[in-house]
Amino acid sequence: MANLLIREGRPAEIMLVEDNRGDALLAARAFRQAEIENNLTVADTGEKAMAMLRREGEYANLRLPDLILLDLNLPMMSGKDVLTALKADDALRHIPVIILSSSAARPDIAGSYDLHANAYIVKPLNLENFTDVVRSIEQFFFMLAVLPVADQS
């Protein structure tokens, strides 16, 4: 089965919202090894992620992501705040959001789903496990699931 992105002949656009540089580098490396061609954009704060998603200022020509990986523990604007803002915005709410957090706490998991996260994954600790997670994400979201196509205008 081919996904719409593959049929469109373009790389998958993925946004990672992660303030931990080590985790962001681990994710970037795993996505470089991915089977699906992708463009990974990293935002290191919730505020920057929202500016990018709303295509404000220097981000005016940025393509909206097909998928967002969101850390909960961000400085100032938390991941839950970002998720709330995303799902309240008519132009952004269609984008699937996977929470990628080091927390396995039940309140964080339940709270994320209450805010309409599409999935919750506890961060793997090493590259091999992170690569396995990335492969699972790409297989589901980019090979099996049919994602909505956003208006990029």
Domains and CATH numbers, the chain: 4-144 (3.40.50.2300)
Of 121, 58, 117, nearest in space to 93 by CA: 117
Per-residue pLDDT at 52? 98
Q: Residue type at 120? A: Y
| Structure tokens given for 15 | 């946004």
Contact predicate 95/66, CB 8 Å: yes
Dump pLDDT digits (tens) for 16-37: 999 999 889 988 888 888 778 8
Whole-number average pLDDT of the chain = 89
Contact predicate 35/62, CB 8 Å: no
